[in-house]
Amino acid sequence: MKHSTSGIQRLTVPMGCLLLLLVAGCRGRDPILGGTGVVSIPTLDNTPPQVTLTQPATTSPGPTVIAPSNAAITATFSEDMAPASLSNTSFTVTSAGPGGNPTGSVTYSASSRTASFTPAAALTVGTTYTATVTTAATDQAGNHLAGNQAALPAASNFMWTFTASAPDLVAPTLILTSPAHLAIGSPINSSINATFSEAMDLSSLTTATFTLQPSGPPLGGVVAGLIVYDALTRIVTLTPTAPLSANTQYTATINGAKDLAGNGLVPGLATNPWTFTTGTTAVPAGVALGSAGAFGIMATSAITNTGAATLINGDVSLEPGTSCGLLPIQVNGTIHINDTVSHQARTDLLVAYNYAKTLPPGITIAGGADLGALYPLGMPPGTYTSGSTMLVSTPLTLDAGGNANATWTFQIGSSLTTTANITLLNGAQAKNVFWVPTLDGTVGVGTTFYGNIVSGRDVTAKTGAVIHGRILAGAALAGTIALDTTTVNVPAH
DSSP 138: B
Mean pLDDT, contiguous 10-residue spans, the chain (493 residues) = 36 36 39 33 66 87 92 89 96 91 91 87 96 96 93 90 96 94 92 92 91 94 91 86 96 96 94 96 82 94 93 92 87 90 94 93 94 96 95 96 90 97 93 96 97 97 96 96 94 70
DSSP 3-state of 22: helix
The whole-angstrom separation of Cα 112 and Cα 52 is 12
Burial of 213 (0-12, 13-18, 19+ CB in 10 A): middle
Q: What are the structural domains, with CATH classification, of the chain?
A: 2-42 (no CATH), 51-163 (2.60.40.1220), 174-278 (2.60.40.1220), 290-489 (no CATH)
Predicted confidence at residue 492, as pLDDT, reads: 67
The conformational region for residue 88 under phi > 0 = left, psi -120 to 50 = alpha, else beta, is alpha
Predicted confidence at residue 44, as pLDDT, reads: 61
Burial of 481 (0-12, 13-18, 19+ CB in 10 A): buried
